[in-house]
Amino acid sequence: MTPLEAFGAYETAALAAIGNAQGPSELEAVRIEFLGKKQGRLKDVQAFLGKASPEERPALGQRFNEVKDRVTSAFEARQSALAQPETLATAIDLTIPGTPVRIGREHPISQTIAEFKEIMGRFGFTVDDGPEIEDERHNFDALNIPFDHPARDPLENFYLATAQSSAGPVLLRSQTSTVQIRVMERTKPPIRIVSVGRVYRPDEVDATHHAMFHQMEGLMVGKGVTMASLKSVLRLFATSYLGGDVNVRFRPSFFPFTEPSVEVDVKWKNGWLELGGAGMIDPNVLDAVGYDPEEVTGFAFGLGIARFCMLRHGITDIRRFYENDIRFLSQF
Ligand code: DAH
C-alpha cells in the first residue's frame, strides 16, 4: 500500500466511524481509535512519513496534515452535534401518564367581592370603583365631615407626606364613601352603583381589625328613594349571600353624610354582628355635588367585606386573609 492509499483508507474509515457514533461515549472511542496521540490508526499512517525519502517527505507531510485536519474537524462537528439537546419529539415521552399541576386559586376576599358584585348586579346595581389615594374633599369635605371631626385627625389616617395634589393634601382613603361623591359629581340621577375596594386606617391589628380592609359601598339616588328601599336592598343582599334565614337588624346611629343613619347587624350564633353603616344621604352631601335635595333623595351603605366572608366560612381571625398562608388559602 502506498502512503497516499494508506492516508485515503484512514480518512474514509475515520469519517465513517465519526458519522456512525451515536453518543458521546461512542464518539470518544472513535477519537481514541483514529486520533489518539500515543497509539491508534493515526500513528500507523504517520509511520509512512518516517519511511518516506527526504525528497518525498515535504509533500507527503502536507497531505498527512490535510487528512488529519479534515478528520479532526469532522470529529469536532460531530461532537457539538451530539451535545445539542434532543429535539422535543424525542425528549418528551408523550405516552407517560401526566401528573396534575396545581394552579393557584382566587383569594377568598376576591371570591367574596365577585359574588357581592354579582348579587348586587341582580338588583340593578352596576360597579363603579374609585381611587385609593384621595383628596380631603372626597374623603371628608363633600361627605359633610367637618374640619374638626375626630375622623380627620392625621393620626387616624394615612396621609401621604410627599404627594400633594392640586386639591391639597392626599391620603389613603379611609372609606369607600369617597366614591359616592366621585360618582355623583360626574353623573346625573338616577344612580344605582356599588363600589368595592380597599380602605386604610391606622387601627391596631387584631382578630377583627386590620389597617387595610375591604368595603363595599352602595349608592342609590333618584326620585322617591326611601329608607324602605334601603332596608329591602340590604336585607335581600344579606339573605342572598348568607343564606335564606338570616336575621338583619337596623340600629339608629350617626354618620355625618347620612340622615337618618343606621348600623346594620346580622344575627350570628348568640349575638349580633355589625356588618356596616347606612342611611339616607344627607341633603348637605346632595348639595355639595350640585343635586337638588328637594328633587332627589338617596340612600348609601358601606359594608365590611371580610366580615361577611368570615361569617359564611366560620373564619375567626381577619389576619388570616393577609398572611398568604397556602394552608389557609387553599381551603376556599
Ligand atoms: N363609611 C362608613 C365607614 O367606613 C360606613 C358607611 C356608613 C357608609 C353610612 C355609608 C353610610 O355609605 O351611609 O365607617
In a domain, residue 218? The reply is yes
Looking at the structure, tell me whether residues 152 and 52 fall in a common domain. Answer: no
Cβ of 279 below 6 Å from ligand 1: yes
Looking at the structure, tell me whether residues 73 and 150 fall in a common domain. Answer: no
Q: Report percent pLDDT > 90 for the chain.
A: 72
Closest Cα to atom 7 of ligand 1: 277
Closest Cα to atom 4 of ligand 1: 175
Looking at the structure, tell me whether residues 147 and 288 fall in a common domain. Answer: yes
How far is it between the farthest Cα atoms of the chain?
124
Q: Decide if pLDDT at 176 tops 80.
A: yes
pLDDT tens track for 237-270: 999 998 877 889 999 999 999 999 999 998 877 7
Cβ of 276 below 6 Å from ligand 1: yes
Closest Cα to atom 8 of ligand 1: 302
Q: Report percent pLDDT > 70 for the chain.
A: 97
Return the ligand 1 atom nearest residue 199 CA: 4
What pLDDT sits at residue 88? 64
pTM for the whole structure: 0.70
Reported as a pLDDT band with limits 50, 70 and 90, residue 162 is low
Name the residue of 175, 253, 297 to mutate for ligand 1: max ligand atoms within 8 A of Cβ: 175
What pLDDT sits at residue 274? 87
In a domain, residue 97? The reply is no
Number of domains in the chain: 2
For residue 122, give the CATH number of its domain. 3.30.930.10
User: Over the chain, what is the mean pLDDT?
Assistant: 92
In a domain, residue 308? The reply is yes
Grid cell at residue 257: 353624610
Looking at the structure, tell me whether residues 69 and 176 fall in a common domain. Answer: no
pLDDT (mean) for 107-115: 96
In a domain, residue 203? The reply is yes
Q: Decide if pLDDT at 276 tops 80.
A: yes
Looking at the structure, tell me whether residues 276 and 172 fall in a common domain. Answer: yes
Looking at the structure, tell me whether residues 67 and 130 fall in a common domain. Answer: no
Cβ of 300 below 6 Å from ligand 1: yes
What pLDDT sits at residue 98? 82
In a domain, residue 161? The reply is yes
Burial 165-174 (b: 16+ CB within 10 A, else e): eeeeebbbbb
Closest Cα to atom 13 of ligand 1: 278
Looking at the structure, tell me whether residues 81 and 121 fall in a common domain. Answer: no
Looking at the structure, tell me whether residues 32 and 142 fall in a common domain. Answer: no
The gap from C-alpha 98 to its chain's centroid, in whole angstroms, comes to: 27
pLDDT tens track for 46-93: 888 888 899 989 999 999 999 999 999 999 999 998 887 666 666 777
Cα(310) to centroid(ligand 1), Å:
20
What pLDDT sits at residue 171? 95
Return the ligand 1 atom nearest residue 303 CA: 5
Cβ of 145 below 6 Å from ligand 1: no
Cβ of 195 below 6 Å from ligand 1: no
What pLDDT sits at residue 294? 96
Looking at the structure, tell me whether residues 138 and 218 fall in a common domain. Answer: yes
116 is in which domain, residue-wise? 108-329
Looking at the structure, tell me whether residues 155 and 240 fall in a common domain. Answer: yes
What pLDDT sits at residue 65? 93
Cβ of 108 below 6 Å from ligand 1: no
Cβ of 306 below 6 Å from ligand 1: no
Looking at the structure, tell me whether residues 19 and 155 fall in a common domain. Answer: no
* C-alpha closest to that of 214 among 123, 56, 89, 321: 321
What pLDDT sits at residue 165? 66
Cα(215) to centroid(ligand 1), Å:
9
Name the residue of 145, 156, 171, 177 to mutate for ligand 1: max ligand atoms within 8 A of Cβ: 177
Cα(138) to centroid(ligand 1), Å:
13
What pLDDT sits at residue 97? 84
Domain finish residue from 60, 91, 122: 91
pLDDT (mean) for 35-47: 88
In a domain, residue 96? The reply is no
Q: Decide if pLDDT at 178 tops 80.
A: yes
In a domain, residue 250? The reply is yes
In a domain, residue 323? The reply is yes
Domain finish residue from 91, 126, 160: 91
Domain finish residue from 59, 91, 123: 91
Cα(173) to centroid(ligand 1), Å:
13
Reported as a pLDDT band with limits 50, 70 and 90, residue 8 is very high
What is the 3 state secondary structure string of the chain? CCHHHHHHHHHHHHHHHHHHCCCHHHHHHHHHHHHCCCCCHHHHHHHHHHHCCCCCHHHHHHHHHHHHHHHHHHHHHHHHHHHCCCCHHHHCCCCCCCCCCCCCCCCHHHHHHHHHHHHHHHCCCEECCCCCEEEHHHHCHHHCCCCCCHHHCHHHCEEEEEEEECCEEEEECCCCCHHHHHHHHHCCCCEEEEEEEEEECCCCCCCCCCCEEEEEEEEEEECCCCHHHHHHHHHHHHHHHHCCCCCEEEEEEEECCEEEEEEEEEEECCEEEEEEEEEEECHHHHHHCCCCCCCCEEEEEEEEHHHHHHHHHCCCCHHHHHCCCHHHHCCC
pLDDT tens track for 216-244: 999 999 999 999 999 999 999 999 998 87
What pLDDT sits at residue 93? 79
Looking at the structure, tell me whether residues 11 and 87 fall in a common domain. Answer: yes
Q: Decide if pLDDT at 173 tops 80.
A: yes
pLDDT (mean) for 275-280: 96
What pLDDT sits at residue 243? 82
